[in-house]
A and B are shown apart, each in its own frame.
Chain A
Amino acid sequence: MSKKMQITLTVNGETQELLAEPRELLIYVLRERLNITGPHVGCETSHCGACTVTMDGKSVKSCTVFAAQANGAEITTIEGIGSPDSLHVLQNAFREHHGLQCGFCTPGMITRATKLLEDNPNPTEEDVRFGMAGNLCRCTGYQNIVKSVLAAATELSAAKEAAE
């Protein structure tokens, strides 16, 4: 174990300063130190995506990012995506289209989908399937997840058009 490092993160809009060992993973800093338990640990090898967060505008698997690498970064987790009074379109869409069952993959799925739709507001089904391929689900068979993301895309685009 080596000396702890001073790390500053902006998580869901709040600045957090903490001391972490260089080997500490971002997912554990979020979950154990900051009590942000929306992102989950499913594999610790970057395969399942349950730990997905947005870091400086990119989707990352926080189980294979050191907290030290995230120093100075802006991080958004599922907790920063909507609030009980004002859910994100994707959060509603997942419920409406039955895009979840046990819920364990859902925070990572929705977090990833926010970024996917930011990068590609009008995706095809193939785009969604490819763009979500880093997030595994064992319950739904993806069909309703894809449906949820496509429905959210349509709704977000319509809202954007109406605003313009």
Chain B
Amino acid sequence: MNDLSPDRDDRIANLKGLGCSRKRVEDARFTQGKGNYVDDIKMPGMLHGDFVRSPYAHARVVSINIDAAMALDGVVAVLTAKDLEPLGLHWMPTLAGDKQMVLADGKVLFQGQEVAYVVARDRYVAADAVELVEVDYEELPVIVDPFKALEPGATVLREDLEGQTSGAHGERRHPNHIFLWEEGDKAATEAVLDEAEVVAEETIYYHRTHPCPLETCGCVASMDKVNGKLTLYGTFQAPHVVRTVASLLSGIEEHNIRVVSPDIGGGFGNKVGVYPGYVCSIVASIVTGKPVKWVEDRMENLMATAFARDYWMKGRISATKEGKITGLHCHVTADHGAFDACADPTKFPAGFFHICTGSYDIPVAYVGVDGVYTNKAPGGVAYRCSFRVTEAAYFIERMIEVLAQELNMDAAELRRINFIRKDQFPYHSALGWEYDSGDYHTAWDKALTAVNYDGLRAEQAERVEAFKRGETRKLMGIGLSFFTEIVGAGPVKNCDILGMGMFDSCEIRIHPTGSATARLGTISQGQGHATTFAQILASEIGISADSITIEEGDTDTAPYGLGTYGSRSTPVAGAATALAGRKIRAKAQMIAAYLLEVHDNDVEFDVDRFVVKGAPERFKTMKEIAYAAYNQAIPGLEPGLEAVSYYDPPNMTYPFGAYICVMDLDVDTGQTEIRQVYALDDCGTRINPMVIEGQVHGGLTEAYAIAMGQEIAYDEMGNCKTGTLMDFFLPTAVETPHYTTDFTETPSPHHPIGAKGVGESPNVGGVPMFSNAVHDAFRAFGLRQSHMPHDHWRIWRIAEGLGLHG
């Protein structure tokens, strides 16, 4: 069909399908205060749970006295590990193959650890009762430094593992060692480094931080003892997995458990894991027979659930004198805290960190990651990134800058001469990945031109001269970053969470009057799935997105899926949606052919209808076809028009981008001002440009926060120093920079619509961009590496260390 009549354009526009900036359907309820978040859920007779938490980072629990708490009016129960032990629930398995205490079993291993769970009439009474629980602790030596944890004779943190010389990921060489995970050719890499013309060596620390969504984690557990059904509402990024875990832990059969993720107030990885609060709430509901709500407060959120990063990355990169990279060696000391609760696919204890060769054609590489226990909170989640990809991107983008310095070369040019070329895709990296598609040179040139890179460098050189002459106290940094992400986990053969393959799903029902409902195994936490998945479907099945309802998050109705994190919704569930749509279309074609009295192959799809080939005036619209599916007996076809697709992606997708910022920095106050941020993203086929731009803005802001001030910090006693929003930096509208977004479009060759995912790219690429700008500002004065976050004090200290304060 090549009918380009205005009528056809109108029909395309009416679909509101792929590529249009459709306004979001979610917004009506959110702008009117009618969202339904977990803390908005109220049930008759509902009780409230609250935790007694450890004030110590490492201590033996000598005794717990609950008498005073139980005596308080309104207190229904106080659970301790002793109560959970007969159920086998005082410990629970983690996503990383370790186990974690649900409630303190003899000792505590981090400040804020759950010790007892109080259940009471309302949250005020529960909080009062928490104060009345008397816990007698005996303090133990605290280890907050992962290098000290591995010293001979260091205090053994995990006594429960004593004598176990191997864990879920192989050999443990020290009582505080979790695993050594390796990838690449170590001997070949070391040989290349030994012979290299130029080698740059640096230790890059990516500090501990936290996703800190505006809504904290919580749940409402409701055990219906009459029907034997457990309903669990909660802030779950993967509701089906939670159902399976809840079934395995509780012994309740899976068909008797319903898990519902209502509206979620941001996730960013914080809401992937299973936390003691969920387990205790389920137990409390089973014990009391009443619904039990638990919602953590901000301090509990920052102290106890789901830190991110905390990677010490020691790198060596080699090159020819002309700057052609010849090898990369990386060793990571990974601080996992008290329990290894990292949220990674089972076989990848360091996530996809081995994407750390980045966007560059590096012939040989090696990565080794040592996981270590310390007296810090467990977690290790992918904070707005795909499983340790942001650590990898930060590492390589810093190493490139360090190498450029070593070579006395321009860092933009060094990147350009080492990029994987367009004709090398699909590209097999030295660390085992198959990059699906990319055109890095085009993106980089577009970015450099857009910001007038040469002009900026000239201005910067003048600024340095003016600074040296004493005419200004401000330096100028140009922050460069070119990142390649790896998202959309994942092929089931490689990727699983607790044994569940990481496929995803979509089920579509076309209703007789031509509208549709589609359900997915994912769950939006702000991404706008109800808007964008309807667009994918509209283009596939010819029904307007406005006539398609997308539902997610209720395990009783949605097909099984692995959830939303790691930018996997569009690459995996988006593909399932397109393929389910194509099944609908295939059946619709047969119905249309029957109605038009021609052979199946004599009709073809055109926007919103099937037409007879060569006779466009003879057609049946999807609306007519839908009706026929329910009101006509069509020989050889079942009634109805429904389809379901479970999609196992053949590969991950590899979005990429070129980010550049310009920063002015006051050497006397350490204050920074971001003058310009340019972000070019290539996420393959673009579904909704408005939503993409919004996600890029948000991810860049989270990157800005992480690079410039946000951290989870501990003192030597293991006290968390950043437990409130007073200390934990979330930027406001005042300091947040202004962003310019741009794009190139290189579709994924293996995805049904060519889309790659975008939500996390700006965090992955943004952190190195901002950090590189700080380093670049001081490059003329010899700065090699200074660890994030680059807050005013730390920047002042760099200037002081370089003797710039005179």
Residues of A whose CB lies within 8 Å of any CB of B are 1, 21, 23-24, 28, 31-32, 35-45, 47-48, 50, 77-79, 82, 84, 87, 91, 94-96, 98, 100-107, 110, 128-130, 132-146
12 CB contacts below 8 A, A to B, read A31-B39, A35-B42, A40-B39, A40-B265, A43-B725, A45-B298, A47-B724, A47-B725, A47-B730, A78-B31, A84-B32, A96-B23
Segment with Cβ contacts to A, from B76-84, B180-188, B208-216, B770-778 = B208-216
Contact B733 A142 (CB under 8 A): yes
Is the CB of B697 closer than 8 A to any CB of chain A? yes
Please measure, in the bound complex, the distance between the C-alpha atom of A140 and the C-alpha atom of B266, giving whole angstroms. Answer: 11
Please measure, in the bound complex, the distance between the C-alpha atom of A141 and the C-alpha atom of B266, giving whole angstroms. Answer: 13
Is the CB of B374 closer than 8 A to any CB of chain A? no
Please measure, in the bound complex, the distance between the C-alpha atom of A117 and the C-alpha atom of B531, giving whole angstroms. Answer: 30
Q: Please, which residue of chain B has its CB at the minimum distance from the CB of A36? A: B33
Is the CB of B691 closer than 8 A to any CB of chain A? yes
Which of the residues B695, B734, B738 comes within 8 Å of A133, measured between beta carbons? B734
For B298, list chain A residues within 8 Å (CB). 42-45
Contact B526 A102 (CB under 8 A): yes
Contact A95 B264 (CB under 8 A): no
Contact A139 B698 (CB under 8 A): yes
Contact B215 A129 (CB under 8 A): no
Q: Please, which residue of chain A has its CB at the minimum distance from the CB of B301? A: A43
Contact A40 B32 (CB under 8 A): no
Known contacts A45-B726, A98-B691, A129-B733, A23 near B124 by CB under 8 Å: yes
Contact A146 B733 (CB under 8 A): yes
Contact A137 B214 (CB under 8 A): yes
20 extra interchain contacts, Cβ-Cβ under 8 A, other than A96-B23, A133-B733, A136-B725? A31-B39, A40-B37, A42-B216, A42-B265, A98-B24, A98-B690, A100-B27, A101-B698, A102-B213, A102-B263, A103-B31, A103-B35, A103-B263, A104-B214, A106-B35, A128-B733, A130-B733, A139-B526, A143-B736, A143-B739
For A48, list chain B residues within 8 Å (CB). 214, 725, 730
A66 CB, min distance to chain B CBs, angstroms: 13
Is the CB of B226 closer than 8 A to any CB of chain A? no
Q: Which of A37, A43, A100, A133 has the most CB of B within 10 A?
A: A43
Q: Please, which residue of chain A has its CB at the minimum distance from the CB of B525? A: A102
Is the CB of B122 closer than 8 A to any CB of chain A? yes
Q: Please, which residue of chain B has its CB at the minimum distance from the CB of A90? A: B31
For B214, list chain A residues within 8 Å (CB). 40, 42, 48, 50, 102, 104-105, 136-138
Q: Which of B30, B31, B263, B739 has the most CB of A within 10 A?
A: B31
Is the CB of B28 closer than 8 A to any CB of chain A? yes
Q: What 8 pairs across the A-B complex have the smallest Cβ distances? A: A38-B33, A103-B30, A102-B526, A104-B265, A141-B697, A78-B33, A141-B701, A101-B526
A93 CB, min distance to chain B CBs, angstroms: 9
Contact A138 B730 (CB under 8 A): yes
Which of the residues A32, A136, A141 comes within 8 Å of B698, measured between beta carbons? A141
Is the CB of B449 closer than 8 A to any CB of chain A? no
A145 CB, min distance to chain B CBs, angstroms: 7
Which of the residues B212, B694, B734 comes within 8 Å of A101, measured between beta carbons? B694
Contact B297 A102 (CB under 8 A): no
Q: Please, which residue of chain A has its CB at the minimum distance from the CB of B298? A: A43
B410 CB, min distance to chain A CBs, angstroms: 30
Q: Please, which residue of chain A has its CB at the minimum distance from the CB of B72? A: A1
For A21, list chain B residues within 8 Å (CB). 124
Q: Please, which residue of chain A has its CB at the minimum distance from the CB of B125? A: A1
Please measure, in the bound complex, the distance between the C-alpha atom of A123 and the C-alpha atom of B650, giving whole angstroms. Answer: 52
Please measure, in the bound complex, the distance between the C-alpha atom of A71 and the C-alpha atom of B122, giving whole angstroms. Answer: 22
Contact A91 B698 (CB under 8 A): no
Report how many residues on chain B are interfacial, defined by Cβ distance under 8 Å. Answer: 58
Which of the residues A44, A87, A138 comes within 8 Å of B268, measured between beta carbons? A138
Contact B297 A44 (CB under 8 A): yes
Please measure, in the bound complex, the distance between the C-alpha atom of A144 and the C-alpha atom of B724, giving whole angstroms. Answer: 27
Please measure, in the bound complex, the distance between the C-alpha atom of A106 and the C-alpha atom of B28, giving whole angstroms. Answer: 11
Is the CB of B732 closer than 8 A to any CB of chain A? yes
Which of the residues A28, A91, A105, A141 comes within 8 Å of B32, measured between beta carbons? A91
For B297, list chain A residues within 8 Å (CB). 44
Contact A145 B733 (CB under 8 A): yes
Which of the residues A41, A96, A100 comes within 8 Å of B30, measured between beta carbons? A100
Contact A42 B215 (CB under 8 A): yes
Which of the residues A37, A40, A143 comes within 8 Å of B215, measured between beta carbons? A40
Is the CB of B604 closer than 8 A to any CB of chain A? no
Please measure, in the bound complex, the distance between the C-alpha atom of A146 and the C-alpha atom of B738, giving whole angstroms. Answer: 11
For A110, list chain B residues within 8 Å (CB). 31
B564 CB, min distance to chain A CBs, angstroms: 12
Residues of chain B from 685 to 735 with CB closer than 8 A to chain A in the complex: 690-691, 693-695, 697-702, 724-726, 730, 732-734
Is the CB of B676 closer than 8 A to any CB of chain A? no
Q: Which of A48, A79, A136, A139 has the most CB of B within 10 A?
A: A139
Contact A38 B34 (CB under 8 A): yes
For B423, list chain A residues within 8 Å (CB). none
Which of the residues A35, A39, A84, A136 comes within 8 Å of B730, measured between beta carbons? A136
Contact B31 A91 (CB under 8 A): yes
Is the CB of B256 closer than 8 A to any CB of chain A? no
For B23, list chain A residues within 8 Å (CB). 95-96, 98
Contact A45 B724 (CB under 8 A): yes
Is the CB of B527 closer than 8 A to any CB of chain A? yes
Contact A141 B527 (CB under 8 A): no
Contact A103 B526 (CB under 8 A): yes
Q: When each residue 287-300 of chain B gets 1 if its CB lies under 8 Å from chain A and 0 otherwise, what string results? A: 00000000101100
Please measure, in the bound complex, the distance between the C-alpha atom of A39 and the C-alpha atom of B40, giving whole angstroms. Answer: 10
For A45, list chain B residues within 8 Å (CB). 298, 724-726
Please measure, in the bound complex, the distance between the C-alpha atom of A110 and the C-alpha atom of B739, giving whole angstroms. Answer: 22
Is the CB of B97 closer than 8 A to any CB of chain A? no
B528 CB, min distance to chain A CBs, angstroms: 7
Please measure, in the bound complex, the distance between the C-alpha atom of A81 and the C-alpha atom of B691, giving whole angstroms. Answer: 26
B347 CB, min distance to chain A CBs, angstroms: 31
Is the CB of B26 closer than 8 A to any CB of chain A? yes
For B700, list chain A residues within 8 Å (CB). 141
Which of the residues B24, B724, B734 comes within 8 Å of A95, measured between beta carbons? B24
Contact A142 B30 (CB under 8 A): no
Contact B265 A140 (CB under 8 A): no
For A96, list chain B residues within 8 Å (CB). 23
For A40, list chain B residues within 8 Å (CB). 37, 39, 214-215, 265
For A107, list chain B residues within 8 Å (CB). 30, 33
Contact B265 A102 (CB under 8 A): yes
For B698, list chain A residues within 8 Å (CB). 101, 138-141
For B699, list chain A residues within 8 Å (CB). 141
Please measure, in the bound complex, the distance between the C-alpha atom of A133 and the C-alpha atom of B694, giving whole angstroms. Answer: 19
